[in-house]
Chain A
Amino acid sequence: MSTDKIVVENLYKIFGSNPQQAFDLLKKGYTKDDILRETGQVLGVDNVSFSVKEGEIFVLMGLSGSGKSTLIRLINRLIEPTAGNVFVDGQNVSAMTRAQLTELRRRDMSMVFQSFALMPHRTVLENTSFGLEVAGVAKKERERRAMETLEQVGLAAFAHKRPYELSGGMQQRVGLARAFTVDPSLILMDEAFSALDPLKRREMQDVLLDLQREQRRTIIFVSHDLEEALRIGSRIAVMKGGVVVQVGTAREVINHPADDYVRAFFNGVDTSRYLTAADILEPDGVPVITYPYLSEKLENIDIDEQGAFLLNEDKRVHGFVSNNHELARCKTGAAKPLAAPTVPTDMPLNELMDVLMQSHRPLPVVNEHGMYCGALCHTTVLKTIAANRGGA
């Protein structure tokens, strides 16, 4: 359906005096530590491959020193790769000449920096139109386009101020505006919001998501903040020591972390809101009685503890009986089963809690075809929340 915007193939970066020698050692099976010991050279990015789809926000996540900032600079070749290929729209960036690379950077990609990297001698407007100015767009035209983006990020009134007259959050809005003004299809963001306080960070994430809503661009976003990654990322790549250890959506990474390093990221982070009913339902949590429920063979089921759901033959939920006594009364027709409102599998946890609070009975979870998948009990939901709050 969607095409690959960026393909990274077996990318390596070795920092040092003789990267080729270190690369040969690496091919012979030496580890990162061996190479550092033998040659004093540092393996920054180690055999990284991934692809990013058109319109995706792809988050590169990792602790400092994990190579994520190097990797993002290999994509627009601010840093020259030692080996491997980077394709943008099918063109091999690593094989481009200087002139081709300059042309690509002007036309198709831009970048946002952690320290904002605004030019102090230029006004906000001049900073915003910098990319167009470099590309040779006439003054009137580039200022018109810069004003448009400044309006989008809410800074039109500050166009003629200098960056140091603005707060950190506003400065980074200028950084964003500068990146969006050249109208690139690809934006690289290196820890763009990391220097901001948490409130401003959320605000900037919203600005970014708003801009993204207006026109979908491919964004590669470097971050060490898991909540940020989960909030804005379509997919997340977790890096460790120059290696990409896991690539997946937020839910995939949370529910199936590849190793303890990835799991360690969730420490202290509330991941419960990224869980849905499907992640926590228990298929056998509550006994089920298949319709017609008066048949003889059901006699010996004991439902005093949790009650039971009544399903018809298509596995649709018919109702709920709370104990053996009620079941017996239903059998004789003296009582009717209780109504059991269902919840869909993709309902997020925070909404589930609202529903659970209104009733002390377990909730039946149904898939998109209305078929019963399992039960949500109060105790299991509480346990899941406790486990995902991060603790420690």
Chain B
Amino acid sequence: MSGQIAELVTWWGSHKLPLGHWVDTGVNYMLDKHGDIFNSFGFMIHWFSGEIENGLKFLPVWLLIAIFVILGLWRVGLRFAVFTLLSLLLIDNTHFWDQTVVTLGLTFSSTLISLLFGIPIGIWAARNKTTAAIVRPILDFMQTMPAFVYLIPAAMFFGLGRVPGILATVVFAMPPAVRLTSLGIRQVNNEIVEAGQAFGCRSTQLLFKVQIPNAMPSIMAGINQTIMMALSMVIIASMVGAGGLGNDVLASIQRLDIGLGMESGLAVVLIAIILDRITESFGIDPQQSRVTPFARLKNRLKGVTG
């Protein structure tokens, strides 16, 4: 009896499932047989993100700063607007402006792609139990698989540069958009959904007139999280040559240059805070929102015109 168990243990120890090998073979097969598809797909992403980056670079420094400051003033408040102004001036002063713009471009394009897929998938998962059951483990995989691991196949499929960086970022940043969209729709007050049905909403009307508008705070929180995760991932993506602030961070690690590391890292943090506060403000319930100087101005104008 104990002999059999010992045999089983030996057998178990010597028969490793070749999971890694299978993945290797699969990736190589896809590269060999369907390389064209990846090429054209990669080209599309390259073009799309390039346009966004060019658009941002086209704007003069002062205009981009002005845009962020005005957004901050409108959505958050005066103190935050001052903070935004000082932060962006500091980034420009430390000569990280160009890299920051590249990072912003990467963040925006990966966020847009993430939302383009994430929100519809979230809606689908909220309305269909089977979809939810399938999507959930995939999201777990996307979120917890160490990010470096899918940087490698992404680089193999699409070569070094912006495209694998953006794709790895999309994989990493999409889950919160899916999860919070789905959660938001499922959490819409039951009587409000019933009201929609009771007044004769068709399925699509219920979705667009009742469920999505009422889930908006949650969806906006998902968008906010997606942006934040995208920003953190595009820094890591510089390992495959995505560019931007990540290059400086990476260089500082390789050269043990603490000063450079702090300067570039600080730029990332400041950009993160600015993006977070501005996008967060869109997710707040209208009933809880603070009165911003902009809103006060609007009310005053309304008061004048009656």
Contact = CB atoms under 8 A, between A and B. Distances in A.
Nearest to A184: B199
A58 interface: no
Interface stretch (B81-89, B149-157, B208-216): B208-216
Contacts of B287: 120, 162, 164
A78 B189 CA distance: 15
B191 interface: yes
Contacts of B202: 102
A119 interface: yes
A111 B198 contact: yes
Contact of B213 (A107, A119, A178): A119
B286 A130 contact: no
B131 interface: no
A107 B191 CA distance: 20
B286 A188 contact: no
Contacts of B189: 115, 117
A106 B201 CA distance: 8
A120 B200 CA distance: 19
A135 interface: yes
B205 A120 contact: no
Nearest to A135: B200
B192 A117 contact: yes
Nearest to B202: A102
Interface in A87-113: 102-107, 109-111, 113
A134 B191 contact: no
Contacts of A188: 198
Contact of A117 (B195, B200, B205, B209): B195
Main secondary structure of the interface of B (DSSP, over half): helix
Contact of B200 (A114, A118, A131, A178): A131
B214 A105 contact: no
A76 interface: yes
Contacts of B214: 119-121
A356 to B, nearest CB: 48
Interface footprint category on A: 20 to 34
B178 to A, nearest CB: 22
B286 A162 contact: yes
Interface in A160-189: 162, 164, 178, 182, 188
B7 interface: no
B51 interface: no
A113 B195 CA distance: 8
Contact of B197 (A78, A107, A119): A78
Contacts of A76: 198
A362 B239 CA distance: 104
Nearest to B216: A121
Contact of A134 (B192, B194, B209, B216): B209
Contacts of B216: 121
B199 A78 contact: no
A114 B195 CA distance: 11
A106 B196 CA distance: 11
A131 B197 CA distance: 10
B200 A78 contact: no
Interface string A263-301: 000000000000000000000000000000000000000
B24 interface: no
B161 to A, nearest CB: 42
A121 B213 contact: yes
A178 B198 CA distance: 11
Given A120-B214, A121-B213, A164-B287, A105 B194 contact: no
Given A113-B194, A134-B205, A164-B287, A119 B200 contact: no
A78 B213 contact: no
A122 B200 CA distance: 18
Contact of A78 (B192, B198, B286): B198
B36 interface: no
A103 B201 CA distance: 9
A134 B200 contact: yes
Given A117-B189, A121-B214, A121-B216, A130 B285 contact: no
A185 to B, nearest CB: 14
Contact of A111 (B195, B209, B213, B286): B195
A76 B200 CA distance: 10
B33 to A, nearest CB: 45
A78 B193 CA distance: 10
Nearest to A102: B200
A119 B210 contact: yes
B200 A105 contact: yes
Contact of B198 (A105, A107, A114): A105
A115 B191 contact: yes
13 contacts: A102-B201, A103-B200, A104-B200, A110-B198, A111-B199, A115-B191, A118-B195, A119-B195, A121-B216, A130-B209, A131-B200, A134-B209, A135-B200
The 7 closest A-B pairs by CB, nearest first: A106-B200, A105-B200, A111-B198, A117-B191, A117-B195, A131-B199, A164-B287
Given A78-B198, A119-B210, 17 more contacts: A73-B194, A78-B197, A102-B201, A111-B198, A111-B199, A113-B194, A115-B189, A117-B191, A118-B192, A119-B192, A120-B214, A121-B213, A121-B214, A134-B196, A134-B199, A135-B200, A188-B198
Interface of A: 73, 76, 78, 102-107, 109-111, 113-115, 117-122, 130-131, 133-135, 162, 164, 178, 182, 188
